């Protein structure tokens, strides 16, 4: 599976590289849009048709809610291509005894004055999107380095996201085993 984002920011060998190539899609590809504002949910759908030249936009997309629309992907769009694309090498080599899947965490940081909000979204093969938010506030005594606020807000959001993933696993274990109040330790 290859992942492309718009505008043309591609993951190559673990590094984010800017390229001039535009997003390309074909029928059956999955497209995921991050919320335009902090705390807006992600939106996912299947590309029904690529109307642009050589698989370029606009795309006709059937969204998970059943609605179909024509769209031009903008910042925050992630295209997951399952076939026919060159994908980065997986971090763990596939084996005959297992399988490799790729999940992506999308981080959006919004800063206004001394306040920073980070929203993280887990893009995975799960039908439901998990998102979390973290915030930070720079006091008048703190240095004027915005990266510190970014790091704190992102770390808080990621910690909350990790808690949600564990809670989801606990719930699935409870449903599969019939055991109540399953607790998975975070190590």
Q: Is the pTM of this model over 0.85?
A: no
Question: Which pLDDT value is given to residue 13?
Answer: 39
Partnered with residue 2 across adjacent β-strands are 81
Could you give all domains of the chain from N- to C-terminal order, each with its CATH number? 2-81 (2.30.30), 104-177 (3.30.160.240)
Segment 74-121, tens digit of pLDDT = 665 666 655 444 444 455 555 667 777 778 888 888 888 899 999 888
Low-confidence ranges of the chain (pLDDT < 50): 1-21, 83-89
For residue 122, give every residue at least 6 positions away whose Cβ sits within 8 Å of its Cβ, in sequence order, or none: 103, 104, 105, 129, 130, 131, 161, 165
Partnered with residue 63 across adjacent β-strands are 45
Question: Which pLDDT value is given to residue 41?
Answer: 61
């Amino acid at each position: 599976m290859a992942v492309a984002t718009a505008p043309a920011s591609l993951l190559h060998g673990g590094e984010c590289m800017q390229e001039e190539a535009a997003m390309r899609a074909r029928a059956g590809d999955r497209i995921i849009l991050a919320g335009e504002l902090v705390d807006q949910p992600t939106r996912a759908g299947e590309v029904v048709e690529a109307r642009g030249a050589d698989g370029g936009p606009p795309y006709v997309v059937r969204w998970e809610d059943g609605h179909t629309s024509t769209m031009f992907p903008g910042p925050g769009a992630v295209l997951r291509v399952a076939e026919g694309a060159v994908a980065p090498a997986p971090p763990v080599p596939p084996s005959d005894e297992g399988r490799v899947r790729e999940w992506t965490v999308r981080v959006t940081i919004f800063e206004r004055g001394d306040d920073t909000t980070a929203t993280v979204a887990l893009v995975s093969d799960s039908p439901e999107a998990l998102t979390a938010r973290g915030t930070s506030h720079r006091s008048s005594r703190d240095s004027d380095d915005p990266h510190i606020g970014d790091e704190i807000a992102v770390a808080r959001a990621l910690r909350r996201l990790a808690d949600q993933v564990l809670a989801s696993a606990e719930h699935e274990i409870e449903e599969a085993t019939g055991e109540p109040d399953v607790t998975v330790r975070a190590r």
